[in-house]
């Protein structure tokens, strides 16, 4: 099973002038498109500023791109994009659908402040076996 999230690399110049390559995790492609990000938004060599929570494993140069700012002034807020105000939430009002068929649709992640929730959802037997 593959992660639906997208990943890209950025070279970061450190305080001592050396370069580190960081992995940046972002949303799945459909969510990026809703935010206005497509294959032409970021090009190799573009300067960007990225903010977000970094990996809980300090040895990994990995973070979630919660906010991406481009050198031409575009700003993309990733975590705010998945929070919906109550008036924009969608409820499933179909009376003729139940069980697993109700699980279709757009899934959202619970957010705590600007940080993705600490614990992943538990796996069932099939998930553990995968």
Quick check: 72 pLDDT over 60? Answer: yes
Residue 72, classed as helix, strand or coil, is: coil
pTM of the model: 0.57
The residue whose two tokens read 């037997």 is 125
What residue segments make up the domains of the chain, in order of their start?
A: 6-85+99-118
pLDDT grade for 87, boundaries at 50, 70 and 90: low
Percent helix / strand / coil, the chain, rounded to 5: 15, 25, 55
Q: How far is CA 28 from the centre of its chain?
A: 7
**pLDDT score recorded for residue 89:** 55
């Amino acid at each position: 099973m593959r992660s639906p999230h997208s990943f890209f690399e950025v070279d970061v110049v450190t305080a001592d002038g050396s370069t580190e390559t960081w992995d940046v995790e972002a949303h799945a492609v459909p969510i990026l498109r809703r935010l206005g990000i497509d294959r032409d938004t970021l090009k190799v060599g573009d300067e960007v500023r990225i903010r977000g929570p970094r990996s809980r494993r300090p040895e990994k140069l990995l973070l979630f791109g919660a906010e991406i700012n481009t050198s031409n002034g575009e700003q993309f807020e990733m975590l705010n994009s998945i929070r919906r105000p109550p008036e924009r939430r969608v409820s499933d009002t179909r009376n003729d659908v139940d069980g697993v068929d109700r699980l279709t649709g757009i899934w959202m992640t619970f957010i705590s402040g600007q940080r993705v929730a600490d614990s992943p959802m538990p796996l069932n037997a099939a998930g553990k076996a995968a």
